[in-house]
Amino acid sequence: MLAIVAAPVLGVKATVPIVSVAMIVSHSSRAWLFRKAVDWPAFWMLFVCAFPFIIAGVLFYVELSEKAVALFLGVFLLITLPLRRILAGFKITVPRSAIGGIAVPYGFLSGMSFGVGMILAPFLLGAGIVGEAMLATVAVSGVMLNVTKTVAFGFSPLLTMELAGLGVMLGLCTIPGHAAGRWIVRRTSIRVHTLILEMFVSIGAVYMLWKGVF
């Protein structure tokens, strides 16, 4: 959601690097909250296998033109809408070793986009990582993923110190937003909440595609 809101203000291509910095702050607060529930073997398997592909995704992203980035992000956001529903409808059962396999597409797509955690959750659940353990493991993975992206983008012209500082400020602003979001979720049905989010993502996807074409 943050990336969709930030893109019209910051520019499409600058959005992913800046949001990566912001997400370090956002995920860190959740990781600290659930720190005692982290499944560390699963986390290390995921991160070690994903690491080189995160770097590859960042390098690929850096070389893309502004319009190509906008088209990619627009198409990716549109794909996530039905994909989330499809994955939610399957009860996937996998061995824990499969986490290393899903880390490959997870790492590459995460390196050049955002919101890829949805493809990770069904496989963690299928490997028996549920409840707070899943929330904690995803949060810690999100911290390390975005630290890796931030360092990699820092070696490119896309992430200056000024933009990194802006990312930190955005991340700090998300902390009170967590509380506001919890208040809204508790007073909104799951169906209505999901429809609102999907509408928001659809608008963001259309904007990205428009920037990529025109």
pLDDT digits (tens, 9 = 90+) for 189-203: 767 767 877 788 888
Question: Span 123-151, mean pLDDT?
Answer: 89
pLDDT for 182 equals: 61
Both tokens assigned to 107: 């790492």
- Between the alpha carbon of residue 76 and those of residues 137, 145, 183, the distances in Å are 24, 19, 29
> Which range in 21-30, 52-61, 94-103 is most confidently predicted, on average pLDDT?
52-61
Mean of the per-residue pLDDT values for the chain?
86
Residues comprising the chain, all counted: 214
Of 186, 180, 175, residue with least CA distance to 30: 175
Least confident of 133-137, 173-177, 209-213: 173-177
Rounded Cα distance, 55 and 144, in Å? 12
Question: Span 57-65, mean pLDDT?
Answer: 94
pLDDT tens digit sequence for 6-56: 888 888 899 999 999 999 988 888 888 888 899 999 999 999 999 999 999
pTM of the model: 0.84
Rounded Cα distance, 115 and 3, in Å? 9
What whole-number percentage of the chain has pLDDT above 70? Answer: 90
Confidence of residue 211 (pLDDT cuts 50, 70, 90): confident
pLDDT for 186 equals: 63
Whether 61 contacts 69, CB under 8 Å: yes
Please tell me which residue, 9 or 143, carries the higher pLDDT value: 143
